[in-house]
């Protein structure tokens, strides 16, 4: 099994706002088999408070269940939002997908 087989990837893109709340919540729903989760937000340019709340809820739930989570954030404008919202401290953030996968593999995902 390679590292990506044991790491679930969630991809979101575009502007994450209240109109997409159900989509975001569904995407961030974990399954019992999740051992580590990569949340790929490489193509996200904006997130409102509703989307940030869903991300934070996901982080708290994952942390409580000892599931390592890594975020991939590449766009400068979304990186600022993540920083200002305090999510940079809540999640392990990367601007490189391979580095995020390596972190999750070392965190016991395999």
CATH class of segment(s) 2-109: alpha beta
31: pLDDT confidence band, cut at 50, 70 and 90? confident
pLDDT digits (tens, 9 = 90+) for 60-73: 899 899 999 999 99
Q: Which one has a higher pLDDT value, 3 or 54?
A: 54
Q: What is the mean pLDDT of residues 29-53?
A: 92
Whether the per-residue pLDDT at 4 is higher than 80: the answer is no
Q: What is the mean pLDDT of residues 34-53?
A: 93
pLDDT of residue 5: 61
Q: Where are the domains of the chain?
A: 2-109
- For the sheet containing 37-47, what is the strand order? 8-16, 37-47, 69-72, 92-94
- 74 token code pair: 């590449």
Mean pLDDT of the chain: 88
């Amino acid at each position: 099994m390679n590292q990506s087989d044991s790491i679930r990837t969630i991809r979101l893109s575009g502007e994450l706002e209240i109109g997409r709340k159900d989509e975001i919540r569904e995407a961030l729903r974990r399954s019992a088999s999740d051992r580590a989760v990569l949340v790929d937000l490489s193509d996200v340019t904006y997130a409102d408070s509703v989307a940030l709340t869903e991300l934070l809820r996901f982080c708290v739930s994952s942390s409580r269940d000892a599931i390592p989570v890594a975020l991939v954030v590449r766009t400068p404008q979304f990186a600022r939002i993540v920083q200002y919202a305090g999510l940079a401290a809540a999640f392990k953030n990367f601007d490189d997908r391979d580095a995020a996968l390596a972190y999750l593999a070392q965190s016991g995902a395999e």
